[in-house]
């Protein structure tokens, strides 16, 4: 220890502590600023929209009169949309993740596929809207129906579900698989009985977060021509419909000040819808999570 220069050590430590304090203050200020902006946004939305959250708001269709405007068609349409998006995207996404992680060999082609799936997760949503317009609306002649919109939104969130499911499956320890093989189980039995039950919390959490993104997207719906106001409810998958983001978008762009308050009420409904979906994801994750 006699070769240690205590004065140099103390000087360097003091310098490091000062730098640490500066960055800590910067990060704290950034966090507080973000929370302040979020609080102001919440306050503005709640103060403007809570007065319009009446039973009539949920029972009426869209209207050119702010006092008569309702969210019934948009809310029911969003539920129909999720009934298409959820099964299509989850089944295809989880199936693709199982193949890529459990069956696909490690070669250049599969690595190329994995890389492009990850890249697709960052593609702007309007691009998926153009793809849906070309394939589902025009080529398959589905029109601006629930089915066309559901397939388009499924394409939008499919890469996110695939990547999330891959991470959840990859997190299952290899020792657990080898123990299953040692007991005489086949690969498929190991996947069904060991891998998937262990990966379910991560898979479902990622899927619900992806669905939360889909329910709030507007750009793909605008591109494929979903109407902003309809005065009827969809009765099958080929019916026309509108959704919450489209209805909110229509109200927000109107010049009348009263419609700004109506759009705030619609945003509150959409936020509650998203919070419920995220709460389900947290509950599932905590209930089925396993630690190894």
The pTM score is 0.83
- Is there a contact between 244 and 272 (Cβ–Cβ < 8 Å)? no
Q: pLDDT band at 49, cuts 50/70/90?
A: confident
Alpha helices in 72-145 (DSSP H): 72-98, 108-120, 125-132
pLDDT at 104 over 90: no
Q: Mark whether 246 and 284 lie in a shared domain.
A: yes
Q: Mark whether 154 and 235 lie in a shared domain.
A: yes
pLDDT at 155: 93
Extract the tokens encoding 185. 């189980």
Question: CB neighbours of 17 closer than 8 A, spacing ≥ 6?
Answer: none
Buried b (16+ CB within 10 A) or exposed e, 9-30: eeeeeeeeeeeeeeeeeeeeee
What rounded mean pLDDT belongs to the chain?
87
Residues of the chain above pLDDT 70, percent = 96
pLDDT at 1 over 60: no
Question: CB neighbours of 4 closer than 8 A, spacing ≥ 6?
Answer: none
Determine the straight-line distance between the first and last CA of the chain, rounded to whole angstroms: 43
Considering the domain boundaries, does residue 279 fall inside one?
yes
Q: Mark whether 157 and 12 lie in a shared domain.
A: no
Considering the domain boundaries, does residue 84 fall inside one?
yes
pLDDT in tens, 239-259: 999 999 998 988 888 888 888
Considering the domain boundaries, does residue 1 fall inside one?
no
Considering the domain boundaries, does residue 103 fall inside one?
yes
pLDDT at 291: 55
Other C-beta atoms lying within 10 Å of the C-beta of residue 131: 18
pLDDT at 285: 73
Q: Which three-class secondary structure state does DSSP give residue 105? A: coil
pLDDT in tens, 255-265: 888 888 898 89
Extract the tokens encoding 227. 């109407």
Residues of the chain above pLDDT 90, percent = 30
Q: Which of 107, 105, 127, 112 is nearest to 220 (CA)?
A: 127
- Is there a contact between 64 and 259 (Cβ–Cβ < 8 Å)? no
Count of positions (residues) in the chain: 292
pLDDT at 42 over 70: yes
Separation CA 173–CA 48 (nearest Å): 50
Q: What number is the average pLDDT over the span 226-248? A: 89
User: How many domains does the chain fold into?
Assistant: 2
Q: Mark whether 217 and 276 lie in a shared domain.
A: yes
Q: Mark whether 123 and 10 lie in a shared domain.
A: no
Considering the domain boundaries, does residue 143 fall inside one?
yes
Q: Mark whether 118 and 218 lie in a shared domain.
A: yes
Q: Mark whether 126 and 270 lie in a shared domain.
A: yes
Q: What number is the average pLDDT over the span 32-56? A: 90
pLDDT at 287 over 80: no
Q: Mark whether 66 and 48 lie in a shared domain.
A: no
pLDDT at 284 over 90: no
Considering the domain boundaries, does residue 71 fall inside one?
yes
Buried b (16+ CB within 10 A) or exposed e, 176-210: ebeebeeeebeeeebbeebbbebbbbbbbbbbbbb
Q: Work out the angle at residue 252's Cα, subtended by the Cα atoms of residues 248 and 255, and round it to the nearest 5 degrees.
A: 145
pLDDT at 70: 87
pLDDT in tens, 119-144: 888 888 899 999 999 999 999 989 88
Considering the domain boundaries, does residue 177 fall inside one?
yes
Q: pLDDT band at 290, cuts 50/70/90?
A: low
Domain around 45: 6-52
Q: Mark whether 25 and 129 lie in a shared domain.
A: no
Q: What number is the average pLDDT over the span 200-217? A: 87
Considering the domain boundaries, does residue 166 fall inside one?
yes
Q: pLDDT band at 282, cuts 50/70/90?
A: confident
3-state secondary structure 29-80: HHHHHHHHHHHHHHHHHHHHHHHHCCHHHHHCCCCCCHHHCCCHHHHHHHHH
pLDDT at 36: 96
Q: Mark whether 44 and 71 lie in a shared domain.
A: no
Q: What number is the average pLDDT over the span 24-41? A: 94
- Is there a contact between 215 and 274 (Cβ–Cβ < 8 Å)? yes
Q: Mark whether 107 and 239 lie in a shared domain.
A: yes
Other C-beta atoms lying within 10 Å of the C-beta of residue 36: 10
Q: Mark whether 129 and 273 lie in a shared domain.
A: yes
Residue pointed to by tokens 């009426």: 60
pLDDT at 84 over 70: yes
Handedness of CA 173, 289, 215, 262 (dihedral sign): negative
CATH of the domain at 159: 1.10.3720.10
């Amino acid at each position: 220890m006699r070769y240690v220069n205590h004065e140099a050590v103390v000087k360097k430590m003091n310098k490091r502590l000062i730098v640490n304090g500066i960055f800590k203050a910067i990060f704290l200020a950034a966090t507080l600023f973000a929370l302040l902006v979020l609080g102001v946004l919440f306050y503005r939305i709640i103060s403007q929209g809570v007065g319009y959250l009446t039973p009539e708001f949920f029972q009426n269709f869209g209207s050119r009169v702010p006092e008569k405007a309702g969210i019934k068609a948009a809310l029911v349409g969003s539920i129909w949309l999720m009934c298409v998006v959820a099964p299509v995207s989850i089944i295809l996404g989880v199936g693709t993740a199982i193949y890529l992680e459990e069956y696909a060999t490690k070669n250049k082609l599969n690595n190329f596929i994995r890389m492009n799936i990850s890249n697709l997760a960052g593609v702007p949503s309007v691009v998926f809207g153009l793809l849906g317009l070309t394939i589902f609306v025009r080529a398959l002649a589905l029109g601006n129906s629930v089915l066309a919109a559901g397939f388009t939104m499924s394409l939008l969130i499919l890469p996110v579900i695939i990547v999330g499911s891959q991470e959840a499956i990859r997190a299952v320890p290899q020792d657990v698989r080898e123990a299953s093989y040692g007991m005489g189980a086949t690969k498929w039995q190991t996947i069904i009985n060991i891998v998937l039950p262990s990966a379910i919390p991560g898979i479902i959490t990622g899927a619900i977060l992806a669905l939360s993104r889909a329910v709030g997207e507007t750009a793909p719906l605008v591109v494929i021509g979903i109407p902003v106001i309809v005065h009827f409810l969809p009765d099958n998958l080929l019916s026309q419909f509108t959704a919450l983001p489209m209805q909110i978008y229509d109200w927000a762009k109107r010049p009348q000040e009263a419609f700004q308050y109506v759009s705030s009420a619609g945003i509150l409904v959409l936020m509650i819808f998203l919070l419920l979906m995220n709460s389900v994801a947290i509950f599932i994750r905590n209930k089925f999570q396993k630690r190894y």
